[in-house]
Amino acid sequence: MKPVGIAAVGLGRWANVLADAYTRSEKVKLISCFSRTPEKREKFAERYNCEFDISLEAMLAREDIEMIIVTVPNDQHADVIEQCARAGKNVFVEKPISVSVEHAKRIDAVVEETGIKFLCGHSSRRLGALRKIKEMIDSKEIGEVSVIEAVFSNERGLELKKGNWRGDPVKTPAGPLTQLGIHQLDNLQFLLGPVKKVFNFGKPMYTEVDNITVNTTVLEFENGKQAYLGTNWACPGVFSINVYGTKANLFYQLDFSWWSNSDVTDEHSTLIKREFATMTDDPDNRMLRDVAVEFPVIDHLRVQVEEVADAIRNDGTTEISAEASLMNLAVVLAAVKSAQEDRVVAIQEIIG
């Protein structure tokens, strides 16, 4: 198909990571970029051999741009997406969709009103192992799931200085839960369905900022299943999911140092199924064995942008809508409320 013309808005570190991925695709073509900082847009344009625009309005007026890649700070998502949608531009926005329910609903409303194609970048559910875990849960290969435990953490909080937007509890609610853990919240709702209620132990630790930097979050889903998520900003990077089923358990580990190299992330991951090798009436004589599970290698950052391009060219839909992204945000905000009020919080309290 004819490549979809795209432009990048917001040119921080992650914009470059994403561009490294989607410029490998034949389905999209990077046309232009914009940042309010001239040096950033000039550097980005040189690195990726594209043009730059000196204002968002100028970019949105162009006919050769069909999709905008939005990676501005979280609290600015609604304003930028609304401008893009009203200019008839399709949108890919990096997670989270926003940091307030009001803004998320604004985005959902303008997407519905304008009919643009939209996707929020929860890329980790695209990982080959995640797709395989979903398949094994849905097929009952591991029996019925009782509990899933998930972790996503790194050392980012140890580098934070006062004034950084990640240290602001309004711009980044619960710190690593918004920036990291929301990936796992999306995975958990992808695997088990909607979350019903949340309890969170969250506090600032080991940093110079007042925002929460360590979270332990307990989740109950609408179907009665349970999960717990650990996420913090004070340890070397880790991304893992363990699924406990009535027939077998799954243990997934991803080498976080390869997270940004999305074309080979899956090659630096392992998925193990632990099952009964022998089954007897005597529990003391039951033997277990570990079996390596094969899964496809998927360029998790590239394919999400390609999905929007496919939807544009084929008038299709995307997997992660504004409404689905709102549900991930709602769990984060419920966790914040839980930590503040020391109680279980229902998702319905957050979304109304």
Provide DSSP, 242-263: EEEESSEEEEEEE-GGGTT-TT
**Residue 287, pLDDT score:** 83
What is the model's pLDDT at position 320?
94
Residue 279 confidence (pLDDT): 64
The strand order across the sheet containing 226-232 reads 287-292, 269-278, 248-254, 238-245, 145-153, 226-232, 214-221, 195-203, 345-346
pLDDT in tens, 172-222: 999 999 999 999 999 999 999 999 999 999 999 998 888 999 999 999 999
Q: Element (H or E) spanning 43, and its range?
A: helix 38-48
**What are the boundaries of each domain within the chain?**
4-123+302-319, 124-299+330-346
Residue 212's pLDDT is: 93
For residue 147, give the 3-state DSSP assignment: strand
> CA-CA distance, 73 to 223, in Å (whole number)?
34
* pLDDT for residue 1: 81
Of 205, 212, 153, nearest to 181 (Cα)?
153
Q: What is the pLDDT of residue 164?
A: 87
pLDDT per residue as tens digits for the range 248-304: 999 999 999 999 999 999 999 999 999 988 766 666 677 889 999 999 999 999 999
- To the nearest whole percent, how much of the chain has pLDDT over 70? 98
- Rounded Cα distance, 309 and 28, in Å: 7
C-beta atoms surrounding 252 within 10 Å: 22
Q: What is the DSSP letter of 180?
A: I
pLDDT category, 145, cuts 50, 70, 90?
very high
What are the φ and ψ backbone dihedral angles of 114, each rounded to 5 degrees?
-90, -20
CATH topology (fold) of 4-123+302-319: Rossmann fold (3.40.50)
Confidence band for 108, pLDDT divided at 50, 70 and 90: very high
Average pLDDT over residues 319-323: 92
- Decide: 227 and 219 in contact? Cβ < 8 Å: yes
Q: Name the phi and psi angles at 153, rounded to 5.
A: -145, 160
pLDDT at 282: 67
Q: Using CA of residue 49, residue 53, residue 57, residue 62, what is the dihedral sign? A: negative
Give me the long-range contacts of 214-219 (CB less than 8 A, separation at least 24). 214/176, 215/174, 215/175, 215/176, 215/177, 215/181, 215/335, 215/339, 217/177, 217/181, 217/331, 217/335, 219/188, 219/195, 219/331
Q: What is the per-residue pLDDT across 48-69, written as a single tens digit (0 to 9) for each?
A: 999 999 999 999 999 999 999 9
**Mean pLDDT on 61-79:** 96
Mean pLDDT, the chain, whole residue set? 95
Distance, CA of 103 to CA of 34 (rounded, Å):
22
CATH 3.40.1710.10 fits 124-299+330-346, yes or no: no
pLDDT of residue 195: 98
- Rounded Cα distance, 127 and 255, in Å: 13
Q: Which long-range contacts (CB under 8 A, 24 or more apart) does 50-54 make?
A: 53/7
| Maximum average pLDDT range among 21-25, 167-171, 274-278 | 21-25
What are 323's two structure tokens?
A: 């409404």
Distance from C-alpha of 143 to C-alpha of 105, rounded to nearest angstrom = 37
Residues sharing a CB contact under 8 Å with residue 59, sequence separation 6 or more, in sequence order: 7, 9, 32, 34, 53, 65, 68
Q: What is the pLDDT of residue 352?
A: 86
Angstrom distances, CA of residue 177 to CA of 83, 173, 185, 324, 349:
28, 7, 9, 17, 19
119 within 8 A of 308, measured Cβ to Cβ:
yes
